[in-house]
Amino acid sequence: MFTGIITDVGEVLWTDPGANIMRARIACSYPASMLAPGASIACSGPCLTIAASGEEDGRSWFGADIGAETLERTTARYWKQGTRLNLERPLKLGDELGGHIVTGHIDGIAEITAIEDFEGMRRITVKAPKNLMRFIAEKGSVALDGTSLTVNGVEGGVFNVLLIPHTLKVTNWGAIDIGSKLNLEVDLMARYAARLAGAA
């Protein structure tokens, strides 16, 4: 379980695609002692399991095996050497819930259709898969590339969010472009509310 508050930006060192699995090694700023094999870590949204970890050239790294389901549903299939990833270690009992409850289970891939920069901030317009738009509401929460964001507006098949200067500074959001693909996780409460409404 995560909160969508990014605590590090990692860098893909290499990927090794296979028929049904892709192996990746990712450099980060977390101490290697905090990267125990078997632990979870959110990598720009998807929750991955650390398979190995260590230190090399003064940097910590961890390895992860990314299965076919994750590759199908997320942007992990586009990762390559140099790709920067928003990282978050899992929530611990008693930690402050600064964002919203994020599972790391990606619902689909969204795409940026417009970017507006002003006063050090950035407003982005995002096109979501049609079947997910019913879960996205104005003033509700959404996780994009692992980042907890508030939905500012919804119109048709798109919605927009605002990135403040701090978020742009401590995440990979400063390097996005129109057409960039994003991992989208809808709000857990919205998902269950829609399920209950459908069952009524």
Return d(Cα 2, Cα 91) in angstroms, integer: 5
Residue 180: CB atoms within 10 A of its CB come to 17
Ranges of residues in the chain with a pLDDT under 70 are 93-95, 192, 195-196, 198-200
- For 47, the domain range is 8-88
Same domain, 72 and 124: no
| DSSP element (H, E) containing 142 | strand 141-144
pLDDT of amino acid 100: 83
Same domain, 125 and 179: yes
Same domain, 186 and 117: yes
pLDDT of amino acid 18: 85
Same domain, 66 and 119: no
Residue 100 lies in a domain: no
Cα 55 to Cα 17, 32, 35, 86: the distances in Å are 23, 7, 11, 19
Q: Whole-model pTM?
A: 0.92
Comparing CA positions, the residue from 125, 113, 110 lying closest to residue 159 is 125
